Amino acid sequence: MTEHHKKQYHGTNLIEVKLEVSQLEIGMQVKKLDRPWLETPFMFQGFRITTDRELQQLRAVCQFVIIEVEEHYWFSYQKHHLGEQKEREARVNKPIITPITQAFPEAVELYNKADIEIHQILNRVKETEDIDVEPIQDTVNGFVKSVVTNPNALLWLTRIKDRDEYTAEHCLRVAILAMAFGRHLGLPEEELKLLGMCGMLHDVGKMVIPNEILNKPGRLTAEEYEVMKTHSEEGSRLLSEQSGLDPAVISVAHHHHERLDGTGYPSQLRPEHISLYTRIITIVDSYDAISSARCYKKASTPAEALKILFDNRGSQFDGDLLQHFILMVGIIPTGSIVEMNNGEVGVVLSNNPDYKLKPKVLLVRDEYKRPQPEKIINLAHNPSTEEGSLYEIKKALTNGSYDVDIMDYRQPKAYPHLSQFDWL
């Protein structure tokens, strides 16, 4: 919301507008702040914004400011940005078009094809340092169509992980997560494609890291870690040698380990120099890495991964973007294996937007962890156990716990009664 007041100044109608700092642009004349000037880094009481640095400083210390602007310009600005806002809201609230029963088989076919391609492409990079960009672009274009019509199908597939094929499948998952996240943020399809390319190629530099370091089944030494860190610069170098690649893809490969507090690598960038694409990839890259098993560590649950990210908001991750990411994947993400308070084990089918801790769960193991006739409970409806207590999720488990593999429950074909529910 904005407020404005009009006054005459040398024959020109100037108005004072109260504006949230997120709406500020270079060129605007700042007249007042929402706090005393002496509490800010600005030398002058009133100034015109001329640099990105000044924008970032204002956003860091204020919630809103008063700007002074010519009336005719302001109403032109409002008309333009109101149209942009309505367009963005339409994208953010875009409904799911394709039912999951139709979307999932198509998504599986896309994913399997992409899985083969990314392995071939990265193996080729390892052997020749040559990158075939065209099949990656075709894969991303197919993913975008799937994500736009129903993101849940591909998001479910990102929960399927092979510890021994980490780098290639990690790139695939990061691309899918980034595109789904971009859809959630309301980004247009061209930007979703760009995010997909950023995700697919962000770790390409790891292909020139020696295998004994990349796949070491233990903690890296200080010297080995320094070698590992070079993958971001190596990725930027490899991608810079390709023609027709968007500069944003190269930048993300170079900077996806930068941090908002300036302690990242390789350039120790300040936050104002870290792009939106890089901030998005940084979040989804870390989320997938933490929740994946490696040769040297066990996988954390999705909920544990989200907590780690949340604990590092502001210093490593963009706090606003992270909140939106948590809203997208859910506090207990779809595809999670969970243990209930009565000992039963189930698979989270879908999240309830209004009840973050009360998803729909397919129960598959009894309280003794034995297979049982499957049944669905919607925790938002407060169902009761046989003992009469309300069902609650006790804890999240890693995939494979008690021999429960989420791939066995990836589509509703075996459950005709699920038509009354929103699968995924």
In tens, the pLDDT along 11-33 reads 456 778 888 888 888 888 898 88
Q: Which two tokens stand for residue 395?
A: 């804890």
* Terminal Cα-to-Cα distance of the chain (whole angstroms): 35
3-state secondary structure of 67: strand
Q: Does residue 221 share a domain with residue 146?
A: yes
Q: Does residue 249 share a domain with residue 184?
A: yes
Q: Does residue 179 share a domain with residue 109?
A: yes
What residue numbers bound the domain in which 31 lies? 3-92
Q: What is the chain's Cα-based Rg?
A: 24
Q: Does residue 78 share a domain with residue 171?
A: no
How many domains, in total, are found in the chain? 3
Q: Of 37, 60, 92, which residue constitutes the final position of a domain?
A: 92
How would residue 410 be classed by pLDDT, with cut points 50, 70 and 90? low
How would residue 416 be classed by pLDDT, with cut points 50, 70 and 90? very low
Q: Does residue 283 share a domain with residue 166?
A: yes
Q: Does residue 246 share a domain with residue 153?
A: yes
Query: Are 309 and 287 a contacting pair, CB within 8 Å?
Result: yes
Residue from 351, 348, 195, 367 nearest 285 by CA: 195
Q: Does residue 311 share a domain with residue 252?
A: yes
User: What are the φ/ψ torsions at residue 349 (nearest 5 degrees)?
Assistant: -90, -45
Q: Does residue 264 share a domain with residue 130?
A: yes
Q: Does residue 215 share a domain with residue 124?
A: yes
Q: Of 295, 329, 363, which residue constitutes the final position of a domain?
A: 329
Helices (H), 34-150: 52-61, 71-92, 100-128, 133-149
pLDDT at 238 (0 to 100): 94
What's the pLDDT tens digit per position in 37-69?
Answer: 776 777 667 888 888 778 888 887 888 888 888
**CATH of residue 235:** 1.10.3210.10
Q: Does residue 375 share a domain with residue 306?
A: no
Inform me whether the pLDDT recorded for 415 exceeds 50. Answer: no
Q: Does residue 384 share a domain with residue 285?
A: no
Give whichever of 121-125, 215-219, 276-280, 397-401 has the largest mean pLDDT: 276-280
Percent of the chain with pLDDT strictly greater than 90:
38
What's the pLDDT tens digit per position in 356-404?
Answer: 778 889 899 999 999 999 888 999 899 999 999 999 999 888 888 999 9
Q: Of 301, 329, 357, which residue constitutes the final position of a domain?
A: 329
How would residue 316 be classed by pLDDT, with cut points 50, 70 and 90? very high
Q: Does residue 411 share a domain with residue 344?
A: yes
Say what the pTM is.
Answer: 0.72
